[in-house]
Amino acid sequence: MVLGLLFIPLAGSFLSMLPSRRVVRPPGAVDEKLFLELCTRCGICVDACSSEGRGTLEPCGILDGVSMMGTPKVNPLRAPCEARYGICEGRLPCVKSCPTGALRWIEPEEIKLGSVSWSPGRCIAVLGGECLVCAEVCPVPGAITPRNGIPVFHSNRCVGCGRCVYACPADPKALILMPEGERRHHWGRAGFSR
């Protein structure tokens, strides 16, 4: 019985401290630590996202980390995020559906989910093919500029929508969406506004 009573505090605090992968969060997510506290893993944002067609959001699995399971992540392999230059611009169904304030309203021009990371060794253009699909689909002026038939990525301009990752025809993909440079709401700075 004593073991039982200690089980939750011990196991819970141990599990919460296990390392976890960094994932790309939906737009308007608060700081990661606060996000993990506030998110109830209810999946409503994922539902709201998929109501717009094939949504980009999916719940994290156990491989992303024990403390991450059920929290939403952007997976550009499913679909690009439409929050910037897309269907959801100015509407953000994921943010509006979040009941606990883990996702908060963010203006379209503030959105930056992360940036893409390029693996030249997998890129068709580098390997001698005719491909600039990433530059073709990129909606951000100047984020991907072709130079001599090879894409050049400017991560400071990238908003992290993942269109290029989604469209990249290389197998395995030459592009990965990473949370590098992501813009989050900071605890105490941005109030809850809806």
Partner 1 sequence: MSGGISRRRFVKLLGGAAAAIGLASLGYSLGWFSAGERAVLERSISGESNLERPLVSLVKGRDVNAMVRRAIKAIGGIEALVSPGSRILIKPNVGFNRPEAVTSPEVLRAVIEVIKDADPKEIIVAESAVRGYNTSNNFGVTGIADVVRGLGIRLVDLDKSSEIVKVKTSGKLLGEVSVFKLACDADVIISVPRLKRHSQAIVTISMKNMMGILPSDQKGMFHVLGLQQCIADLNTVFRPDLAIVDATEVMTVSGPGMGRMVPGEAILASRDPVALDLIAAEYLFRLEGNENPLETALNVPHIKLAAELGIGINDPSRIRVVEERVS
Partner 2 sequence: MGSSRLLKINLLTVAAVIATYVALNLSGVALGGYCLLSLGNMPFICPLGFLQRPSIVEATTHAILIGLAITLALIALHGRIFCGWICPIGLGLRFLKHDKGNGRGIILAFSISLASMLIVSWILGFPIFCLICPVGIVSRIIASALTGSLDLWSILWGITIFAVITLVLRIHNWCGGVCPLGALQALLSPLKILRIKASSRCTRCRICARNCPLGLEIHKDREVDHMSCTACMKCVAECPFKALKPALSSPLSSTRLRN
> Is residue 108 involved in binding partner 2 (CB under 8 A)?
no
Output the CA angle 95-77-33, nearest 5 degrees.
Answer: 45
* Amino acid residing at 178: M
| Residue 32 Cα distances to 76, 82, 130, 187, angstroms | 20, 22, 40, 10
Binding partner of 62, given partner 1, partner 2, none, CB within 5-8 angstroms per partner class: partner 2
Distance CA 13, CA 25 (A): 23
Considering beta carbons, is residue 59 or 108 the nearer one to partner 2?
59
* Number of residues binding to partner 2, judged by CB under 8 A: 50
Task: Based on the shown chain and the rule CB under 8 A, indicate whether residue 70 belongs to the binding site for partner 2.
Answer: yes
Q: Is 102 among the residues that bind partner 1 (CB under 8 A)? A: no
Assign residue 136 a region (left: φ > 0; alpha: ψ between -120 and 50; beta: otherwise): alpha
Choose among partner 2, partner 1, none what residue 170 binds, the Cβ cut-off being 5 to 8 Å by kind.
Answer: partner 1
Per the structure block, which two tokens stand in for 20?
């976890």
Residues of this chain that interact with partner 2 (CB under 8 A) are 1, 3-9, 11-13, 15-16, 33-34, 36-38, 40-44, 46-48, 50-51, 55, 57-59, 61-63, 66-67, 69-70, 75, 78, 97, 99-102, 104, 187, 192, 194
